[in-house]
C-alpha cells in the first residue's frame, strides 16, 4: 500500500472553524457532494455497488477512480484540511487500484463540521425558490453551487453518456434532488427515476452541455 500524508502547521490546525465565505463554501459543498455520491453515508463509508462491504470510519472515503480521489485532495487543501491518500490493489478476478482518502483522527471533527455545514448551506441555497434577479449575487451563488454539486457527482459517481441523455446514479435522495434543481438553474431539465436500488438523474443530450459547462467539465 502506498500513501501520502499532508499536514498543516500546528497553529493553523488548531484555529477555530470560521463561517465559510462564498469561495470556501463552493469548495466545501463540492466536497460534501463528492463524498455523498461515493458513499452510503455522508461522512464516508460503503461505496456504491458494494452494499455488503463493512463501513469505513467517519472521515474515510474510498474511490475506484484516481481523478475523484485527487479532486478530493485538492478540495481538502483549499479548505486547509489535512488528509492522507493511500492506494492498494483490490478485487479478485479483476484487479483494480483502490484510492482511500482519510482525515487524521484529531482533525475529523473539523472536517465533519465544515462539510456538514457546507452541505446544509449549499442545499438550502440551491433548493431555495426565493426570487432573485438574474444579476444578483445570490443568483450567481446558486449557479456556483449547482455547478459544484454536479462537478462532485460527475467525478465520484461517473457519467453515463448515451445517445439521448446524460445520466448519473446516486443513492442519496437529497443529493438527487439537488442535482435536478441544479440542472434547472444551469438551464437544463432533469428527470429522476429509481432503478436497481439507486436513483438515476437524467439530462437530455440537447441540454447536457449546459450542465457540463456549469460544472466546468469539458465534454
How sure is the predictor about 22, in pLDDT bands with cuts at 50, 70 and 90? confident
Q: Are residues 14 and 87 in the same domain?
A: yes
Q: How far apart are CA 140 and CA 50, in angstroms?
A: 37
Tell whether 56 is covered by a domain: yes
What pTM did the predictor assign? 0.83
- pLDDT at position 7 is 40
Of 80, 115, 150, which marks where a domain is finished? 115
Mean pLDDT, the chain, integer: 83
CATH of the domain at 39: 3.10.28
Tell whether 127 is covered by a domain: no
CATH of the domain at 169: 3.10.28.10
In the sheet where 191-195 sits, what is the strand order? 160-161, 165-170, 198-204, 191-195
Compute the average pLDDT of residues 121-144.
Answer: 88
Does the pLDDT at position 63 exceed 80?
A: yes
Q: Are residues 17 and 76 in the same domain?
A: yes
- pLDDT at position 97 is 85
Q: Are residues 145 and 101 in the same domain?
A: no
How sure is the predictor about 125, in pLDDT bands with cuts at 50, 70 and 90? very high
pLDDT tens digit string along 163-179? 789 999 999 999 999 99
Is residue 1 classed exposed, middle or buried when 0-12, 13-18 and 19+ CB atoms within 10 A define those classes?
exposed
Tell whether 103 is covered by a domain: yes
Q: Which of 44-58, 71-85, 143-157 has the lowest mean pLDDT?
A: 44-58
The set of long-range contacts for 24-27, using a CB threshold of 8 Å and a minimum separation of 24, is 24/78, 24/79, 25/118, 25/121, 25/122, 25/141, 25/145, 26/144, 26/145, 26/148, 27/75, 27/78, 27/79, 27/148
Structural domain total, the chain? 2
Which of the 8 DSSP states describes residue 59? T
Q: Are residues 150 and 78 in the same domain?
A: no
How sure is the predictor about 33, in pLDDT bands with cuts at 50, 70 and 90? very high
CA distances from 205 to 45, 110, 181, 208, 209 (A): 32, 40, 17, 5, 8
Tell whether 123 is covered by a domain: no
Tell whether 144 is covered by a domain: yes
136: CB partners within 8 A, 6+ apart: none
Q: Are residues 102 and 151 in the same domain?
A: no
Tell whether 51 is covered by a domain: yes
Q: Are residues 146 and 179 in the same domain?
A: yes
Q: How far apart are CA 124 and CA 107, in angstroms?
A: 26
Q: Which of 16-20, 60-64, 65-69 has the lowest mean pLDDT?
A: 16-20
- Please give the grid coordinates belonging to residue 74: 485538492
Q: Are residues 65 and 19 in the same domain?
A: yes
Q: How far apart are CA 45 and CA 100, in angstroms?
A: 11
Is 187 within 8 Å of 126 (Cβ atoms)?
no
Tell whether 125 is covered by a domain: no
Q: Are residues 61 and 17 in the same domain?
A: yes
Q: Are residues 144 and 89 in the same domain?
A: no
Q: Are residues 7 and 58 in the same domain?
A: yes
Question: What is the share, in percent, of the chain residues with pLDDT greater than 70?
Answer: 81
- Residue-range definition of the domain harbouring residue 147: 138-214
Does the pLDDT at position 9 exceed 80?
A: no
Amino acid at each position: 500500500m502506498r500513501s501520502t500524508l499532508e499536514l498543516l502547521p500546528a497553529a493553523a490546525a488548531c484555529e477555530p472553524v470560521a463561517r465559510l465565505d462564498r469561495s470556501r463554501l463552493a469548495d466545501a459543498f463540492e466536497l460534501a457532494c463528492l463524498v455523498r455520491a461515493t458513499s452510503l453515508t455522508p461522512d464516508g463509508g460503503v461505496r456504491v455497488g458494494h452494499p455488503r462491504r463493512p463501513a469505513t470510519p467517519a472521515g474515510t472515503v474510498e474511490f475506484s477512480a484516481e481523478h475523484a480521489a485527487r479532486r478530493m485532495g485538492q478540495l481538502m487543501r483549499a479548505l486547509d484540511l489535512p488528509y492522507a491518500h493511500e492506494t492498494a490493489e483490490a478485487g479478485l478476478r479483476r484487479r483494480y487500484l483502490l484510492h482511500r482518502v482519510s482525515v487524521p483522527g484529531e482533525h475529523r471533527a473539523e472536517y465533519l463540521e465544515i462539510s456538514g455545514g457546507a452541505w446544509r448551506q449549499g442545499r438550502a441555497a440551491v433548493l431555495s425558490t426565493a426570487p432573485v434577479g438574474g444579476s444578483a449575487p445570490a443568483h450567481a451563488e446558486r449557479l456556483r453551487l449547482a455547478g459544484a454539486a454536479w462537478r462532485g457527482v460527475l467525478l465520484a459517481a461517473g457519467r453515463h453518456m448515451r445517445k439521448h441523455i446524460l445520466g448519473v446514479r446516486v443513492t442519496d435522495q437529497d443529493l438527487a434532488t439537488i442535482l435536478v434543481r441544479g440542472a434547472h438553474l444551469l438551464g437544463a431539465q432533469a428527470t429522476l427515476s429509481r432503478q436497481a436500488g439507486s436513483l438515476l438523474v437524467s439530462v437530455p443530450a440537447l441540454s447536457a452541455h449546459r450542465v457540463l459547462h456549469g460544472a466546468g467539465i469539458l465534454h
